[in-house]
Each structure stands twice: as C-alpha cells, then as structure tokens.
A and B are shown apart, each in its own frame.
Chain A
Amino acid sequence: MAPVTPAPRAEPERGPALVAFLLRRVLQSIVVLLIVTMITFGLLRMIPGNVAVAVMGPGVYRDPAAIKLFNATYGFNLPWYQQYFLWVGHLARGNLGFSWTLNQSVASLLASRMSKTVILVGISTIVALVIAIPIGVIQAVRRNKLTDHVFNAFSTIFYATPAFLVGIVAILLFAIKFPILPPEGPQGEGFGSVITNFSALILPIGTLALITIALFSRYMRSSVLDNLTEDYVRTARAKGASERRVLIRHVLRNSLIPIATLLGLSLPGILAGALITESVFNYPGMGYLFYQSALKQDYPTLLGFTVVVALATVVGSLLADIAYAVLDPRVRYVSS
C-alpha cells in the first residue's frame, strides 16, 4: 500500500468575505453615527425657550433687532431640517460648536480635556484587565468552591457600590485617615503636569479600576467556563497535556478573544464611571467638564461632547469587532 500523501488542506478563502464584512460593519457604524446626530439634534430642539435669550439674558427681549441678528448669525432663523444639515455639516468638518458660557470653542475645550480622560481611562482599564483576568481564571477553575464564592461576593459588592462612594471611601482612608496620597486629582493644565504629579492620579485610577475589575472578572469567569467545556480541552487532556498547560496554552488564549468585544462594549460604562470619578477627585477631564456643563446648562458643550463620546464608542466597538474577526477564524462573516 503506497503511502498517501495528504492533499493540501483547502483553506477557505477568507479575504473577500473579510473585506465584505468590514465594509458592512463600517457602513453600519456610519448609519449609527447619523442616528446619534439626529437624537442629539432632537435633544437640542427640546430645550425650552429661545436660544438668543438663553445666551444674552432676558434683557434682550427689549431689543428684537439683537435677537434677529443673533438668529441670523447662528442660523436659528432657518427651518429645523436646514439647521440639522448645517449642524451636521459643521460636525463633519470638526466644528463641534461654541460654548457661550465658557467663551471657547467646544473643540478646543475637548482638546485640552481629552488627554486627561484618556490617561485615566487607559491606565485604569489596563490595571483592571491585569487584575481581573487572573481572578476570572481562578474563579472558573475553582468553580463553586470557597475561592470562587469569596471573589464573587467581592465583585458583586463592588458592582453594587456607587462609584462615588468607592472614591469617597478611598479619600477617607488614604488621604485623611492615613494621609499618604493627595485627595484630589492632578490639577495642572496639560499632559505633562498630569504625568509629573502621578501620586495624585493613584486614587482616581484605583477607584475606576476597582469598579471595572468587578465587571471584567465576571465576564472572564464565564468565558473561561465556556471554554473549559469545549472539545479541544478534552483533546488536549487526552493527549496528556498537563492541567497547567491546558489552562494557559489552550483555555486562556481562547478565553481572551471575547475580551476584545468586552472592551468595546464596556467603553460607555467606563466613561460614565470616569465622569463620576473625575467629579469626586476634582480631576479636570472630559467627564468633569460634561458634568459642570450640565449644571450650567451649557448645551453646546453637552451636545458636542455627546457626539464625540458616541463617536469614540462606535469606533471602539467597530475596532473590537474587527479584532475579534481577525483573531478568531471561526467567526463567519455572514449577515444574520
């Protein structure tokens, strides 16, 4: 019997399907962003009263010419659909609006605040991942044992604790009772002053990370549990791989793939957590400014930031989906 040389396995052609998938996904994201602008514009229209009066004060009622000039300058005399297209046109060119309360363009406000939020969210997410992944794995391996229950209790309690309470308790403990860290976030303007004052950043990062860990570790636990029941685990064990090798080389690697999606999905939640954390620690990032704008009813800033945050989320989940499709060859790019 002549040995049969195995025919080269026919690799399914992924290229065109992947491109089609990416195209559809990008198109979807653009539609979603357009709907975001419609929702935001709808909110803008919900604001009671006259914008001119809101900006220039009630005294302007005595001067109808001024109101007319204001409306003509900013396009408020146009029909609503023209206002919408005008606004979207400006958005597309990067003009996010002008904050009359702060007398500054929303884009410049964003530029000065965004790096701070990115530092806070970025570092705390990395910290949370580094801590949550091992916890999730341990919980899954020791499922329904004491370790699992203890971590489960902690993650539930931290999930249930309002972010600001975590922050306040952190201040009480590490800034007042044992004054080792400053109670406020770095106050300086710009990127450099934040990095050089890193000790002030520890409490905000710790607060945001604690809340995120609670979210991530639960997800990781169920992801590992799902993978432990897969056939390839049985195959690896049958081939004599040690339990440690099965866990690290096979299960962990596969369980990490959904984390890409998780990061995309949890971005809105993390940004909301950042808003609270920034408010507690008086840290002048995007979230804190958003909150201040809500108190001062600074609508241009609120709406401009809403669009930017939505853009970040949409792009984030798009990247997550792409990463998922590239990492996991089992993903089929057929529409549901």
Chain B
Amino acid sequence: MTLNLPPGPPPGPESSSMGLATVTTEPAAAAAAAPGMLPAGKPRSAFRRGLDVFLENKLAVTGVAIFVVMFLFCFLGPVFYHTDQVHVNFAIENMPPSAAHPLGTDANGYDVLGRLMVAGQISLEVGIAAAALATIVGVLWGAVAGYFGGVLDATMMRIVDAMLSIPTLFLALVVVAIVTPTTPILILVIALTSWLTTSRLVRGEALSLRVREYVQAMKVMGGGGTRAVLRHIAPNAIGTIMVNATFQVADAIALVVALSYLGLGVAPPKQDWGGMLSDGVQYVYDGYWWLIFPAGLCIILVITAAIFIGEGLRDAVEVRLQQR
C-alpha cells in the first residue's frame, strides 16, 4: 500500500465532487498512457469512445429510436389525438378499424389507438421507475455488502439468495394479493422484487474495487465507509450498473404486463398494455384481432428495444473496461 501521499488537507465537503471527477478522468488517463491505443491527434475521452462503439451498433441505435418514438407516441400523442378514455360508450363497442377509429374500439367503446397511448404511459412509467428504484436499492445493497465484507456481506447475500429462490412473479402475486395495486404500489412491488441481480453484480464489482489504490488512499486519508460506497464503489461500477438497469427496464415492463394479464394490474379505467391484452384475449374466439395485436406489438417492440440498448451499452462499456 502506498503511504507517500502528498500532504494536504483531509477531504472536506468542498472537495466532495472530487470522487466523480477522478472517476471519469481515470480511464482516459490510463488509455492515454497506453501506447498505440489512440490515433494521432486529439485524445478522446473514454465516454466518447464508448459512445462511438454504441453508435456503430445499428441494433442499439434502432432500440433508442424505438424508445424515443414510443415516448413521443404515448406522452405527446394524446395532445394531437383526442379520445375519451374515461367514459364507457357501449354504442360503439368492439368496432373494427374505421376512419373514425383507426385501430377500432374495445369492449368499453374506448378508441384502441388512444388507449394504446394512455396505457403505454403506465407501462413505460412503471417499467422505468421500477427499474430505477430497483437499481438504486440493488447498487446500495451490493456495494455495502461487497465493501464491508465479512458477516455483514454473508448475511446480506443470503437474504438476496432467499429472495432469488422465490420466483419474482410468485412474490409479486402474493404482495399484490395483499395490497390493492395502484401505479406507485406496482412500481414499489416490482422494484422490491427485482433489485436482486443488480445487488449481486455490484457486490462483485465492489469486491474488486475496494482493494484499488484510490479507495485505499481515501481510507488512509480518513474517509469512512459511506464515502467509499457512495463516491467510489458505486460511481466506478456505473458501466455495469447502467447495462443492468437497461435490462431491468425490459424485465419490469414484462412483469407489469404479466401481472396485468393475471388481472392484478392497475385498476380501471386506467390500464396498461398488459391489461389491454388481457381484455382483448377474452374475445380471441371472435376474431377481434385489433384488441390483441397492436398492444402485443407495442410490448414486444419496447422490450426488444430495451434489450438492444442494453446489449449496445454492454459492448460500449466493455470497450472502456478493456482500455482501463
């Protein structure tokens, strides 16, 4: 361990941004030191190189495009395409597509195209918010376990093992049977049942990061565990975390869809894509295809897009890691 650190004031609150700043420049400095890694000219940051790799991946770019289009469709669409998604109108139930209703109407007389937009808002909101929350919980849990190690690590990881051994869908079903699902509760339930893989990944990263020189140096300078976890372990595992978070979005959307299909999603008149599908399935023998395929297509598109983005990010992060 190096102890010949330059004398200086202990890190105070004013240098609190140091952690992140060092983190972002460190790989670039390492790459610049490696000969032959860069073309002659202006050295580019690790972030730029990662971005280049990501942009070269056509599937990943397609994924981003699909996500952007879906967002605009769901959140901006209703501004231009006005439909009544609250009041039931049985006079126009289950109408096939026509000029007035491009994708027909459902059993309650709701316009299917307009319904796709509002339902998509819930699917995307729940999916992204749950993935974000799961990522935060998982990162903190894994970083604390991996950094502190010992009995704490063993206990925390056995809890993860225990929760992993109950299939997410089963656990979510039990919780949703106990509490009535609303959008925030769905987000919470899905987040609390899907942070486990993240925590395992981050723990692995933390185990290797905690012996690094800069973490040791910080310890010598009197930095505590909280600082290590929040300023060094978590930011340095950001690549792994981001990749995992993207896959989490895909899984979270799939889980909401499954819960809604089983009739345990958000309560009417609200609905997500899974709920639309679930309703449409009741008319599967009547040939009302417009109740099934548009919603199904939206789900497949969004989840596929999330997977493509995740794979693109993974390649980009791997490039960065190789050059570290």
Contact = CB atoms under 8 A, between A and B. Distances in A.
Interface of A: 28, 31-33, 35-36, 38-39, 43, 46-48, 156-157, 159-165, 168, 171-172, 176, 268-269, 271-272, 275-276, 279, 290-291, 293-295, 297, 299, 302-303, 305-306, 309-310, 313-314, 317, 336
A93 B33 CA distance: 65
A271 B162 contact: no
A295 B263 contact: yes
A189 B173 CA distance: 26
B118 to A, nearest CB: 19
Contacts of B173: 290-291, 294, 302
A63 B308 CA distance: 61
A302 B174 contact: yes
Contacts of A314: 161, 165
A303 B250 CA distance: 28
A36 B166 CA distance: 8
A172 B286 CA distance: 11
B285 A176 contact: yes
A137 to B, nearest CB: 20
Nearest to A37: B162
Contacts of A157: 300, 304
Of B164, B168, B170, B254, which is in contact with the most chain A CB atoms at under 10 Å from its CB?
A: B170
A306 B163 CA distance: 11
Given A43-B178, A162-B257, A306-B170, A291 B162 contact: no
A162 B277 contact: yes
A161 B264 contact: no
B219 interface: no
A172 B296 CA distance: 14
Contact of A162 (B170, B171, B299, B308): B299
Contact of A172 (B159, B166, B179, B284): B284
B177 interface: yes
Interface string B250-291: 100010011001111000000000100100010011000000
A147 B139 CA distance: 37
Interface residues of B, number: 42
Interface in B157-206: 158-159, 161-171, 173-179
A39 B163 contact: yes
Contacts of A268: 164-168
A269 B261 CA distance: 17
A121 B250 CA distance: 24
Contacts of B262: 276, 279, 291, 294-295
Nearest to A165: B296
B147 to A, nearest CB: 15
B292 interface: yes
Main DSSP-derived SS at the A contact region = helix
The list of the 9 closest CB pairs from A to B, nearest first, reads: A160-B303, A35-B162, A268-B167, A272-B169, A313-B165, A294-B177, A272-B167, A160-B304, A310-B165
A36 B167 contact: no
B158 A31 contact: yes
Contacts of B258: 162-164, 272, 276
Given A294-B177, A295-B263, A275 B165 contact: no
B129 interface: no
Contacts of A159: 303, 307
B32 to A, nearest CB: 28
Contacts of B166: 36, 39, 268, 306, 309-310, 313
Contacts of B158: 28, 31-32, 35
Given A272-B169, A297-B178, 11 more contacts: A39-B162, A48-B178, A156-B304, A161-B296, A162-B299, A165-B292, A176-B284, A290-B173, A302-B173, A306-B170, A310-B165
B159 A35 contact: yes
Given A168-B284, A279-B262, A302-B173, A162 B304 contact: no
Contacts of A164: 258, 261, 277, 281
A101 B158 CA distance: 34
Nearest to A48: B178
A36 B277 contact: no
26 contacts: A33-B162, A43-B178, A157-B300, A160-B300, A161-B296, A161-B300, A162-B274, A162-B277, A165-B292, A165-B300, A172-B284, A268-B165, A268-B167, A272-B168, A275-B170, A276-B169, A276-B258, A276-B261, A294-B176, A294-B177, A294-B262, A294-B264, A297-B178, A306-B170, A310-B166, A314-B165
